[in-house]
Structures are given as C-alpha cells and as structure tokens.
Amino acid sequence: MTHRSFEFTHALCRTPALSVTDGLRATDQGDPDPLVFAAEHAAYVSALRDAGCDVTVLPADDSFPDSVFIEDPALVLNGVAIVLRPGADSRIGEAAALRPALLETMADVVDLQTDGFVDGGDILCTDDRVLLGLSARTTAQGAEDLRPLVEAQGYRLDILQTPPEILHFKTESSLLDHETVLATPKLAASGAFQGLNVIETPHGEEAAANAIRVNNDVFVSAGYPRTADLLDQAGYAVKVLNTSQAALVDGGLSCMSLRYSLALAA
C-alpha cells in the first residue's frame, strides 16, 4: 500500500438536516436538537481541517434524516469510492443521492452490485485489510459481493461477525494506528482483531470506542475522560469533540465523514 490507513488529505461531510429529528435510533432518548447538532458538526468539520484535511461540506438533505452519517453509503479505498447499499429501509436511497458528489470529489466511483446490504459503519480499514462485521445492517451476501471490489484495490477482506447487540462494527471499535485498535471488551473478546494490538475502553465508557484517527490526531467523544487519558498515556494526540446530538440517533465520530487520500491514491 502507498499510504497508512489513518493518513487523509480530504474529507467529505454533509450538514445535518432539520429532519434529523426523525433519524433512526435503537433506543429513544429524545430527539436531537438540529441547531445544537449543526454547531457540533461545524466543530467536527473544523477539527478535520485542523488535522490537515481539505473538507467538502455538502448541503443538508432533508429527504434523508440520517444523511449526516455520510460514511454509511460509501467506502473509499485509494481515492476510489465504492457506493454501498445501506441496510436500513429509510437509508437505501442515500447511496444514489450521494453518488453525484462522489463523482465530483473522488478519483473514481464504482457501484456495489448486490441483493444484500453493506453499511460503511461496519467497515474498519487497516493498511492492507478491510475488516467487515456482519450486523443487522450488513449481510453475508453484501459482504461477499463487496469482496472483488476490495481486492481490486489491493486489500484483503476479512468478514467477521459483530455480536448481535452491537449496531455497527465501528460502534465499538476504531483504528488508532497501523497495528492498534481501540475496542470495547465485548468486541475485543469476539476475536475480530487477530494480529492487532487492542486497547480496551474502560468499563462504562464503551461508547468512546467510536473514535477516529485523522493524521496525527485521535478524535474522541466528550464525556469519556478515562479513555482520553488512556490514549494520551499511550502517546496519541487526543482531540475531544462533542457528539451528544449524533449519539441520540445512533451516530458518532466515524460516520460523519468520508475520509480519503487523493494525493496518495494508487
């Protein structure tokens, strides 16, 4: 591979829609406040720029309440966007809606042809592997149909089983460097991270596992001080960001951007 999996030159984001109050959620803890969400999203975009990314922010799309979670409808490898097929009925149309922007910003765009489903939130990329966790939103058929597209970019696809009570594979895991992941004890115990070092989130801070490494910075959600301290002590440059509104609709740091590297594309 020509670059490390956490090195990015660009990112694609979408402003949260006012309809985000209708967003999907496993547990109803109240609706997000669109204005607060917009402010938290703006801070997130600023953090991406501070980390060295050229960020393109697409306008809100009120026809899709969850469209701020732009990572789910696509996967980007070597600057090539693979248009996925999200596994929630209300989100299937997001892929087609996003495709024009992908054509404008990515080196190339290819489409996953499948009768199954694949959500970007179930995909964790290392330097040479794509870890794909089967879930309620990602099916075995979708995973197998994704394999040739991943292999065409020089990656190996490892299909794993996300524990059934976990929404997305990346809900409880994130990449910290080429050989280290942050994960909840539950997901770590599943055996998904063979060959990788695992830093486990402290008890009660499992939600902190949805972090992202962007060049030199590791973004961690606010409210998880022990995890932030743990990563700081391990030598990572930690950036704490508020994600309170995204959390109300099952979102987090990873799903609010498509991060990619055009300058380093193969």
- The response to whether 66 counts as a known ligand-binding position is yes
The answer to the question of whether 134 is labelled as a binding residue is: no
24 is in an annotated binding site: yes
Q: How far apart are CA 228 and CA 238, in angstroms?
A: 7
Q: Is 31 annotated as a binding residue?
A: no
Q: Tell me the pairing of strands 123-125 and 129-134.
A: antiparallel
Considering the candidates 13, 53, 125, 255, report the single residue annotated as catalytic.
255
Site of tokens 């193969």: 266
Structure tokens at 143: 């995973």
81: left (phi over 0), alpha (psi -120 to 50) or beta: beta
Find out whether 147 is annotated in a ligand binding site. no
What are the start-end ranges of the H helices in 152-265? 185-188, 225-233, 244-248
Catalytic residue flag (residue 53): no
255 is catalytic: yes
Catalytic residue among 3, 168, 178, 203: 168
Consult the annotation and say whether 71 binds a ligand. yes
Decide: residue 24, CB within 10 A, 0-12 exposed, 13-18 middle, 19+ buried: middle
The answer on whether 49 is annotated among ligand-binding residues is no
Instruction: Write out the catalytic residue numbers.
Output: 168, 255
Feature table: binding site for substrate: 24, 66, 71-72, 91, 137, 249
Q: Which residues line the annotated binding site?
A: 24, 66, 71-72, 91, 137, 249
